[in-house]
Amino acid sequence: MIGAGYVGGVTAAGLARFGHTVSIFDRNPEAVPRLLGGKPLFFEPGLEELIASGRDQLVAAGSIGEAVDDAAVVMICVNTPDSGTGAIDLSFVRTAVREVAGATSSGPMAIAIRSTVIPGTTAQVDATILAPLRAGGRQIAAVANPEFLREGRAVADFLHPDRIVVGDDDKWAGDLVASLYARTPTTIMRMTRSSAELAKYMNNALLATLVSFSNEMADIAEAVDGADVTDALLAVHADRRWHDREGRWDPGILGYLWPGCGYGGSCLPKDVKALRAEASALGLTVPMLQAIDAINESRVAKLAQIALSSLPDPNSAIAVLGTAFKAGTRDERSSPGLRIASELKRRAATVLTYDPLIETNGGTGESLTEVLSKTKVWIVATLAAEFESLPDRAVEHGAVLIDARRRFAPTSRGYRGPGLFRTSTDS
Ligand SMILES: NC(=O)c1ccc[n+]([C@@H]2O[C@H](COP(=O)([O-])OP(=O)(O)OC[C@H]3O[C@@H](n4cnc5c(N)ncnc54)[C@H](O)[C@@H]3O)[C@@H](O)[C@H]2O)c1
């Protein structure tokens, strides 16, 4: 396993639980000792227990060479960040594949790219890095095996995945990667490498579409006298075509068909931009992806404006509650809450932040009660359970509550819609 972040850490622990011996390397010297010690550099519920259950099968490697020695499958789980232009930076993947290919090993080796990479990447690294080795007689090939886990539920997602996608152009290599998952009941979907890579992007682009669609519908509802987007969307959710035949299934996908402060995290924003950049590079115009991204970006300024216009006096402070990109994680990458906080600071507002899972909390380490007592406008940016009582507390404090996730019932406790976000002063 190359990379011991969210994806590498969970994949390594899951495969060890299935009985495989997993040798794991990360170029950050702290990452593997922390992971195997049960205290990863990141927070993922249940991971500590999963590691403990397969601990004997997990081996810390001091170098890539040591990690891949005797390995039949090498999984590349390194980061693929935004390069700054929207396109993803594939240099970490290429470096890792090059280092793996350069290490000596005997026997056939399948290199599975688990990182999210634009379609064509696996075939390209195969052609440029591995084909010369094959020409020299080595049995080595690259396979696309994208990861679909959700942070906060990554352990369950790994052990009971919705799907396992294996893309290969060399059947023996695809078979080798597929064999790792023999212990999961999930059907393995085999396809070409580019289809597998595209499947990951399509999945995230669809989730982002639902969020931006819901936010655009919220903008329309806001302009229509008497309309509340959440009441209307609940009627859409009731459509039987979203459910099983008995209407009992409550698909998690409907959580995305809901308005709020936009999608965030390490995947959706990056993946939508990367797919868009790749489409442009291919000479395509992709108005839908452009709109999804633009609608999402516009939430930050819109919400900041609502907060500023809700201030009882210009010196009052604003609380942003929830700085992880969603509840149940400590991951603050592309977090809507943090982006709103920086936009407010850019506009010279005084902002305090709080998140139940992040101890430092913007450097102050203050409790929720302390943050609430110093602020007059509260923006709820995640669905953390600790925020459940905020409508009542807002009434007690005389604070304006901005329900940026549209979590609270529209008519509850005197809070009124419609509006992009419900506040106690909406009219
Ligand atoms: N986090 C998620 O929810 C998630 C879900 C599905 C897919 N993905 C994708 O999986 C990939 C990894 O995401 P992540 O969240 O695990 O990232 P991460 O930043 O948590 O972890 C990546 C790790 O790779 C290590 N690394 C980078 N280059 C290396 C090298 N040459 N050798 C050894 N280690 C190296 C880094 O030190 C880091 O610890 C990305 O492409 C991401 O888009 C992430």
pLDDT digits (tens, 9 = 90+) for 193-228: 999 999 999 999 999 999 999 999 999 988 888 888
**Mutate which of 79, 117, 204, 333 to test ligand 1's pocket (most atoms within 8 Å of Cβ)?**
79
**Mutate which of 28, 75, 266, 333 to test ligand 1's pocket (most atoms within 8 Å of Cβ)?**
266
Ligand 1 midpoint to CA 265 (Å): 13
Q: What is the CA radius of gyration of the chain?
A: 23
Q: What is the mean pLDDT of residues 128-148?
A: 96
Instruction: Give the number of the atom of ligand 1 that is nearest the alpha carbon of residue 117.
Output: 41
Cis peptide before 336 (omega within 30 of 0): no
Instruction: Kindly list the distances between the CA atom of residue 281 and the CA atoms of 86, 276, 278, 360, in Å, as whole numbers in the listed order.
Output: 11, 9, 5, 41
Q: What is the mean pLDDT of residues 97-101?
A: 96
Q: Whose CA is nearest to atom 15 of ligand 1?
A: 6
List 22, 142, 198, 267, catalytic entry? 267
Reported as a pLDDT band with limits 50, 70 and 90, residue 22 is very high
Reported as a pLDDT band with limits 50, 70 and 90, residue 415 is very low
Of 297, 37, 9, the closest CA to residue 158 belongs to 9
**Mutate which of 77, 78, 334 to test ligand 1's pocket (most atoms within 8 Å of Cβ)?**
78
Rounded Cα distance, 202 and 312, in Å: 44
Rounded Cα distance, 258 and 110, in Å: 41
Ligand 1 midpoint to CA 360 (Å): 24
Tens digits of per-residue pLDDT, 153-167? 999 999 999 999 999
CB burial string 216-233: b at 16+ within 10 A, e below: bbbeebbeeeeebbbeeb
At 247 the pLDDT is 61
Where do the structural domains in the chain lie, given as residue ranges?
Answer: 6-191, 203-414
Tens digits of per-residue pLDDT, 249-303? 667 889 999 999 999 999 999 999 999 999 999 999 999 999 999 999 999 999 9
Rounded Cα distance, 78 and 74, in Å: 12
Average pLDDT, the chain: 92
At 249 the pLDDT is 64
Q: Which residue has the tokens 């927070």?
A: 43
Q: Which two tokens mark 390?
A: 């905020």
Q: What is the mean pLDDT of residues 94-120?
A: 94
Which class does domain 203-414 fall in? Answer: alpha beta
Q: What is the mean pLDDT of residues 127-146?
A: 96
Q: Which two tokens mark 159?
A: 């052990």
Tens digits of per-residue pLDDT, 338-392? 999 999 999 999 999 999 999 876 667 899 999 999 999 999 999 999 999 998 8
At 392 the pLDDT is 84
Q: Whose CA is nearest to atom 32 of ligand 1?
A: 27
**Mutate which of 1, 7, 74 to test ligand 1's pocket (most atoms within 8 Å of Cβ)?**
7
Q: Which residue has the tokens 């859409």?
A: 236
Rounded Cα distance, 137 and 115, in Å: 27
| 246, pLDDT greater than 70 | no
Q: What is the mean pLDDT of residues 149-156?
A: 93
Ligand 1 midpoint to CA 122 (Å): 16
Rounded Cα distance, 72 and 294, in Å: 44
Ligand 1 midpoint to CA 93 (Å): 9
Reported as a pLDDT band with limits 50, 70 and 90, residue 17 is very high
Ligand 1 midpoint to CA 377 (Å): 36
CB burial string 311-333: b at 16+ within 10 A, e below: beeeebebbbbbbbbbbbbbbbb
Reported as a pLDDT band with limits 50, 70 and 90, residue 57 is very high
Instruction: State whether residue 333 is helix, strand or coil.
Output: coil
At 409 the pLDDT is 67
Ligand 1 midpoint to CA 418 (Å): 41
Candidate from 167-176, 368-377, 410-419 with smallest mean pLDDT: 410-419
CATH topology of domain 6-191: Rossmann fold (3.40.50)
Rounded Cα distance, 370 and 374, in Å: 7
* Ligand 1 pocket, residues with Cβ under 6 angstroms: 2-8, 25-28, 31, 42, 77-80, 92, 95-96, 115-116, 147, 149, 151, 266-267
Instruction: Tell me what percent of the residues of the chain surpass a pLDDT of 90.
Output: 79
| 417, pLDDT greater than 50 | no
Q: Whose CA is nearest to atom 10 of ligand 1?
A: 115
At 427 the pLDDT is 35
Instruction: Give the number of the atom of ligand 1 that is nearest the alpha carbon of residue 78.
Output: 24
Instruction: Give the number of the atom of ligand 1 that is nearest the alpha carbon of residue 9.
Output: 16
| 412, pLDDT greater than 70 | no
Ligand 1 midpoint to CA 279 (Å): 24
- Cβ contacts of 175 within 8 Å, gap of 6 or more: none
Q: Which residue has the tokens 């099983």?
A: 244
- C-alpha 179 chain-centroid distance: 27
Instruction: Kindly list the distances between the CA atom of residue 397 and the CA atoms of 350, 370, 372, 391, 401, in Å, as whole numbers in the listed order.
Output: 18, 12, 8, 10, 10
* Residue 261 among the catalytic residues: no
CB burial string 28-57: b at 16+ within 10 A, e below: eeebbebbbeeebebbbebbbebbeebeeb
| 141, pLDDT greater than 70 | yes
End-to-end CA distance of the chain: 55
Rounded Cα distance, 243 and 400, in Å: 37
